Structure formats: C-alpha cells, structure tokens
Amino acid sequence: MPDRVAAAPHRLEYATPARHWTDALPIGNGRIGAMLYGEPDHDRWQLNDDTCWSGSPSSTAGVPASTEPSPEVIERVRAALLAGDVVTAEREIRKVQYGHSQAYQPLAELEIEVAGPASTLTRRDLDLGTAVAGWQSDGGRAEVFASAPAAAIVGDYRWDRPRDLTIGLTAAHADSRRSMVTADQDQLLLVSRMPSDVFPGHDHATRSVFYDDTPGAAVTAVAVAGISSDGTVSADGPVIRIAAATELVITVVTETDFGDSLTPPHGDLDRLIRTARQRSADVTAIPVGRLRAEHLEEYRSWWDRFDLQLADPTAADDHADTDALLARSRDRDVSPRLVALIVAFGRYLMISSSRPGSRAINLQGIWNPWVQPPWSSNYTVNINTEMNYWPAFPAHLGELAEPLYDLVETMAVTGAETARRVYGRPGWAAHHNADQWGYSLPVGPGDANPCWAAWPMAGFWLLRHFWEQYEFTGDEDFLINRTWPLLDGATEFALATLVDLPDGSLGTVPSTSPENSYLTADGDRAAVTISSTMDGALIRECLRNWQRAAEIVTRHGGDIDPVRTTTVGATLNRLPLPRPTARGSYPEWRDDLAEAEPSHRHQSHLYDIHPGDAVTVYDPEQADLIEAARETLRLRGAYSTGWSLAWRISLHARLHETAAAQQSLGYFLAPVPDDIAAAGPQVAQAGGVYRNLFCAHPPFQIDGNFGVTAGILELLVQSHGRTAEGVRIIDLLPCLPDTWADGSLRGVRTRGGLIMDLSWRDGAITEVMIMPTIGQQVMIRMPGRRDLQLDLVPGHRFTL
C-alpha cells in the first residue's frame, strides 16, 4: 500500500548482557526453546522441550480429598446453597478436590566459556523479523536461532582471533541417578528423567518434587549438542574443550519418550539416545548458512503475513534501544514504537512457542527455568490459557492455535470421566487447572479455597476458540468434525447441570466467579453461591453456538436429536442476560453481593463483552449494560496484574473507551524495577514488563504478552458486532489514541473471513484494502466517514 508509514524494524536491542532470566532473550521453534543471556565470555542457553512435564497420563486420576462419592457431596452443597446455608456449602465443597495438575519442566543449560582477555559487549539483540538473536563484542559475534526445519537450536560463533573454549551441558534435574552428561569428540549427550510428581508452590526448599523410576511414570529426555569448529576439539570428562577456535557452530537437538497425552512414555532409553545422536549428526553436517536460510524461509512464511507500524515523531532514530523505550514508559511516555514492538513481540512469541504438533502454550510459553515453577507453569484455564490464543486469528496466525485444539480434545476425554466421577453427569467438564496429560479434575488437597478450586466451566470457555476458528475462516469441515463433538458433549453437561431457580430461570448451583470472593451478611468471605454471571454467559454462549452448529451439521446430512434441539431452545429462553445492579454496575453474581476485594484482578463477569459478544455497543437496547460494564471497570481501578491489565485493554476497547484503554496499556508497559526482576518467582509487586518485554504478572506469565497484543488490535479493528439486520460490522480504528495518529496495519484478519490492509494519517483512514475469503455482506465503519455496506466476493479485492 503506497500510503503506509515508513517501516521501522521490530528488534529488541541492549547494550549490556542479561543480568537475570527475565533479561535473557527467548527463541523457539514450537517444540524446543532457549533463553539466551548474551555474555561474550560466558554465554548461556537455558533449554526447554515442550514435552518435558512431570507426571504421566495416570496422574490425571487425581487423589480425592474424601472417600464420600463426590456427586452426593455436590447435592448436599446445592441443597445448602438453596437453603441459604453458605457456611455448610463452603465446608462441604472442599471435599470435592482431587489434588493437582502437573508442572512444566526445564531441561538443561548449555554454557560456553571463553578463555583469555575479557571482551566488552557492544550490542545484544533479537531481530523479531528473522527470529535470530545474538551479540557483538569488541572481539567477536554470535547468532543463535531455533530452526523448525532442522528441529534444532543453532548457534554460530565467530572470533577475531583464536580463543580456547569449554562447552558444557548441565541438567536442570541434577539427581545423578537420573541425569547424566557425557562427551565425545563432537557431541555432548545429556539424559534427564522428569519427576513423576511436582506439587505446586513457590517454596523451593520444601520437598515436593518426587521421582518414580517405574517405566511410563515420567518423561525421559535426551539432549545432544553437536560441535563443529576450526579449532582442536577434545572431550574432557563431561565437557568439550576446543583450542585455538575462531569459529564454532553448536546445534542442540532433543528427544523425549513422550508419545501423546493419553499414552504413557515408552521408556526406551537406548532408542532415544540412538535417535538423538543420529539427528545431531545429520544437523551438524549441514552448513550453518544453509541452516540459517532454511530457518528464515520457514519463519518468514508466518512472520511476513502481518505488520503494524506506528509513527513516532519524537523518536530520534528508527530502532531505539529497548532499555531507552522502557525508560520512557516508566514516566508514562509510551512510545508508539514500543506499542508496535510489543505487538510484534506477541506474534514472535506465538510463532516460537506454538506450532502444529507442539504442545499448547502454557503459562510461560515454552520457557521455564524452575523445577517448581510458579503455578506449575501449567494450563490455567479460567483465563490464562485462553488469553494465550486471543491474538492468533487477528494477527494472522490462526493455524498456530492447532495445539490448543489438541489440548482441549484431550481434556474432553479425561473430562468425560470428571463429569461422571465428580458430578454424576453426562458430557464432559474441566476445571481450573490442566496439564499436557489433560488433567480436568477440581484441584486442591481438601482445604483449597473454592474460589478457584470449585469451577467446572473451563470446557465452555475453551470451546470459544473452536467457534472463533469458524467465525474467522468459515471452515465447516473443522466445525463438523472437530468442534461439533466437543460442543455437543459440553452442551450435554450443561443441560444436566442447570437447576431451576426460584424466579423461574435456570442457573448453576454451586457456582463461583473465578478466584473472586464476596462478603456474607455476617461479613465473612465466601466464594460458593448461586449462579455467577460468568456461568450464565458461558453456558448461554455454548448453547447458542450449539444451535448454529446444529444447523450446519444438519445441512451436511448429520442427524441431530430433535429432543436435544427443543431442549436447547427452551433452556436458552430461561437464561436471560443479567441486569445492572442498584449501584449501576455489572453484576458478578445472581444476587448483588458485596465484593470482598473490589479491585480484584479477574473481570470474569464481563465475559459477554470480551471475549464474548453477547453485549455490544452496537445494540442500542443494551446501552444500560454497556454503562454498567464501564462503571464496573471504573470501580475495579486502573491498576492490576499484568494479564489483568491486558484483559482490561480489550474490555475498554469493546466499550469504546480509548483513554481508559490507553491508561491500562501504559501501566502494562511500565518497566519492572531491577530488584523485582532479581527476585525471580518470589515477588509481590504487580504489573509491568521485564527488561526483555516478558509480561510481569508477576512473576512472568506469557498470557499478558498475548493479551496485550490482542488488546492493541482490538483498539484498531473490531469485527464482533452486527447491525439490527444481522450484517457483520467491521469497525476500523474504533479507539485510536491521539498518539497513534499516523500508522498502517497489514494483514489483519477479521471474523467473516476478511484479510485487511489499512493506513491512516492524522487519525483519518487514507486507504483500505479488503481481501475476502467468504462471500457475504458487511458494514464498514470508519472514523469521519459514513458507514459503507459492501457485498464481498471471495478472492476479489476491494479498495476503499
């Protein structure tokens, strides 16, 4: 597009090495990842493989806190709540807890020691456009990338004069009985056994990591570092030494005995070692220039689809030092360049951590250095896992959501047993936490707070992503073959779970609003109640989508139970939207209960506004609910944790509150003080970003990075609304901040199958190009222009 603003490179740049793990730079190819410290004389790669988790499929069985049948306990809880006895309900529901999900694990650390005079770093960087990280010093340089074609991490080191090197691998699980490192002439071999059980928590001093050597009880991993150099290479015990090297190429490959989420690890160590050594030899034999070229071609097939550029007239150059950009944001002077960079970084992280065939993105992507990571670095499915994939379709990376679909399909298998065992109900259900094995039970040892332990609604929220796949692509084959079975199973659970309420409506009993609490009449904190607003929103959306999907399945010859069809319709009529409270806010629970924590980080009751679409600014009959939502966000306050701020950006965007969204974005992009970064997972401060732009919950949670990417795109393009006649609304620049007056957006995707390029100057759109993939009628809204209705034809470009 000729009117696009000049492109600035998307690059993280620093003048000093990483001091902390959250200063290091992430690379990944979906399966394996590394954090790179960039110290010329002592470089480090912290390594992960996305199949390295504690536990096994057998760990999904859980350990019940009570011998009483859970369905009987649930009935007692339901009866107590309907009788107004919250104390009994809170006590009893703790019996329906089944332990914990498992933890994502680190694999190893590779170190490169360089002997001789000290070097001075001149630059450390990560080029998001090439996915190549590296450093330059006064005596050498390095480039490191994670290649998907080679299934390896590749490091290319060069020095101006010969240097003596020592290269070593250290297992993150340093138990000598289960981990070993050996070296020969050109390979370092590491073997490491994952724990069979890791208890969640932050206390690393507590013995809560357990190993079971029984075959199939845990994953065994192998990493091989292949070495190629012009120096003299020799093995010395567990390390490789190289004399007089000016060139060094390191390739790291990994193999594990993980097969799939429902099958125990196979435990054949000889096969693992043999396969890993051969793969290492094959990759090492390929010239590094060819490895780099193949990596770039594959990576750019994802990266080049999309770009956001925001002009910054106050910037002195085209690629400011990242520390300098963060210094500006510390004073709430958020450079538009930093905004564009954080969007580019979110896309980079998704390409690097989620590919077809990989595991779904967990709380930390694929990057984790701790055996006992915060919140187990698992799948927290009451917001965080879902947020990870919010930008997938808008940012033109929809295929990279495939691992999420795989995870949900696994959870539906285990969730069928959970629905039966815990509730005595058909269908499938999942709770607050999951892992790569599909854990779906309510978590806790019997004394966990029900505000997060007693929430069986994860399946409904996760199915939102399946429906979004259809909304963005119109792919009816995917809808029929993958979405429909899960949607039908979740609907079956919903219909069996809803109960009659005194006012004639239907609701969920027991119910919680994720992680939040209210105050009882006696002033005590409680979480369990009757019908939270989010429960209703999720079930209503599920049933509505079931109706739409059933029409498509029927059109393609599928057989839909007519009784189920009638029941779904009748049920929807008894699940009304909430009404504003007497205070003018959006209710979180069926009754207007006093919040124990008015500034709570979760905004679950606003689900119908985002990520849902049942309440929109485009429907004048919902104006009171829109105002109630605005009041709720005002009462919540402007500041919160990292991912919560990201969610608030999207909520403000959907409510067309530009200034409020910009304020949340400013808090999100504030740099975390160095002492907080140094504390690792033991922190108390909320919000902001680390030096490497990782979101600080804190500690680090990657969902904030993906959430802020989605939120910024919501400010620029929205496609969730419809006119009174049912025509899809494509709303361009609905919430453009004044500081983003000049910009361009290329390759953004919308619901309805549109791919769009747009440019703007002084806040006014100068050009729009639409590439439809589905034939339909749409309404285009642009600031300062009349609404334009278009009849789109697939494959025919429209320029406005």
- The per-residue pLDDT for range 777-786, each reduced to its tens digit, is 999 999 989 9
Cβ neighbours of 397 (radius 10 Å):
21
Please give the Cα distance from 229 to 185 (Å, whole number): 11
Question: What pLDDT shows up at residue 318?
Answer: 54
- Strand order in 518-519's β-sheet? 525-526, 518-519, 594-595
Sign of the Cα torsion 355, 361, 367, 372 reads negative
Structure tokens at 547: 């109706």
Distance, CA of 679 to chain centre: 23
In terms of Cα–Cα distance, which of 525, 411, 532 is closest to 465?
411
**Which residues make beta-bridge pairs with 25?**
36
Crossing angle for the helix pair 402-418 and 484-497, to the nearest 10 degrees? 40
Q: Are strands 232-236 and 152-171 parallel, antiparallel or unpaired?
A: unpaired
Q: Which of 698, 646, 15 is nearest to 345 (CA)?
A: 646
- Rounded to an integer, the average pLDDT of 33-52 is 97
Segment 214-241 shows an average pLDDT of 96
* pLDDT for res 684: 54
In DSSP notation, 69-110 reads -HHHHHHHHHHHHHTT-HHHHHHHHTTS--B----B---EEE
- Residue 499: count of CB within 10 angstroms of its CB: 13
What interhelical angle do 288-303 and 336-353 show, nearest 10? 110
Question: Which run of H or of E encompasses 43?
Answer: strand 42-49
Contact between 702 and 349 (Cβ < 8 Å):
yes
pLDDT, residue 678, reads: 75
Contact 261, 192 (CB under 8 A): no
Name which of 205, 192, 248 is nearest 48 in CA terms.
Answer: 192
In this prediction, residue 235 carries a pLDDT of 96
- What is the pLDDT, as a whole number, of residue 1? 40
- What letters, b where the CB count within 10 A reaches 16 and e where it falls short, cover 323-341? eebbebbeeeebbbbbbbb
Q: What is the pLDDT of residue 698?
A: 81
Contact 482, 462 (CB under 8 A): no
Q: What is the pLDDT of residues 117-131, one digit of tens each?
A: 999 999 999 999 999
Residues 6+ apart with CB under 8 A from 686: 601, 639, 640, 641, 642, 696, 697, 698
**Is the confidence at residue 401, as pLDDT, over 80?**
yes
Per-chain mean pLDDT for the chain: 95
64-97+380-608: what fold?
A: Glycosyltransferase (1.50.10)
Q: What does the pLDDT look like over 130-167, one tens digit per residue? A: 999 999 999 999 999 999 999 999 999 999 999 999 99
Among 441, 517, 446, 430, smallest CA distance to 91 is for 446
Q: Which of 352, 476, 479 is nearest to 403 (CA)?
A: 352
Residue 178 tokens, joined: 């289960």
Q: Identify the burial level of 413 via C-beta atoms within 10 angstroms of its C-beta, where 0-12 means exposed, 13-18 middle and 19 or more buried.
A: middle
Which of 533, 499, 501 has the alpha carbon at shortest distance from 516? 533
Instruction: With H, G, I as helix, E, B as strand and everything else as coil, classify residue 748.
Output: strand
A 10 A CB-CB count for 583 gives 12
Q: 531 — alpha (psi -120 to 50), left (phi > 0) or beta?
A: left
Tell me the one-letter amino acid at 81: L
Give CA 576 to chain center in angstroms.
31
DSSP one-letter code for 585: S
- Percent of the chain surpassing pLDDT 70: 97
Name residue 376's amino acid: S
Please give the pLDDT value at position 315: 76
**The dihedral of CA 339, 345, 347, 353: what is its sign?**
negative
**Comparing C-alpha atoms, which of 531, 450, 460, 455 is closest to residue 498?**
531
Residue 627, classified by CB atoms within 10 Å of its CB into exposed (0-12), middle (13-18) or buried (19+), is middle
| H-helix segments, 83-179 | 86-93
Residues ≥6 apart with Cβ < 8 Å to 169: 108, 109, 110, 111, 181, 188, 190, 223, 225, 238
Classify residue 117 as exposed, middle or buried by CB count within 10 Å of its CB (0-12, 13-18, 19+).
Answer: exposed
* Contact yes or no for 390/409 (Cβ under 8 A): no
4 pLDDT tier (thresholds 50, 70, 90)? low
* Domain 728-799, CATH: 2.60.40.1180
Q: Is residue 383 scored above 70 in pLDDT?
A: yes
* Terminal-residue alpha carbon distance, the chain: 12
Q: Of all residues in the chain, what percent carry a pLDDT higher than 90?
A: 91
Q: Do β-strands 728-732 and 776-781 pair in parallel, antiparallel, or remain unpaired?
A: parallel
Which residue is it, tokens 């940012």?
395
Q: Can you tell me which residue has the tokens 């809170």? A: 90
Write b or e for each residue in 273-283: b if 16 or more Cβ atoms lie within 10 A of its Cβ, otherwise e: beebbebbeeb
Q: Between these two residues, 329 and 201, which has the higher pLDDT value? A: 329
Q: How many CB atoms lie within 10 A of CB 483?
A: 24
E strands present in 406-467: 433-434
Q: Does the pLDDT at position 659 exceed 80?
A: yes
* CATH 2.70.98.50 for domain 11-54+103-198+208-303: yes
CA 167 – CA 110 distance, rounded (Å): 7
Alpha helices, DSSP H, located in 233-304: 269-284, 288-303
Residue with tokens 């049942």: 614
Residue spans of the domains in the chain: they are 11-54+103-198+208-303, 64-97+380-608, 728-799
Q: Mapping DSSP to helix (H, G, I), strand (E, B) and coil, where does residue 665 land?
A: helix
| Measured torsion, CA atoms of residues 656, 546, 515, 588, in degrees rounded to the nearest 10 | 60
Average pLDDT, integer, range 180-192: 94
In this predicted structure, the answer to whether residue 206 has a pLDDT above a threshold of 60 is no
Q: What is the mean pLDDT of residues 21-25?
A: 97
SS3 content of the chain, % helix, strand, coil (to 5): 35, 25, 40
Per-residue pLDDT, 314:
82
The pLDDT value given to residue 5 = 67
Least confident range from 139-153, 311-325, 397-411: namely: 311-325
144, 87 contact by CB (below 8 A): no
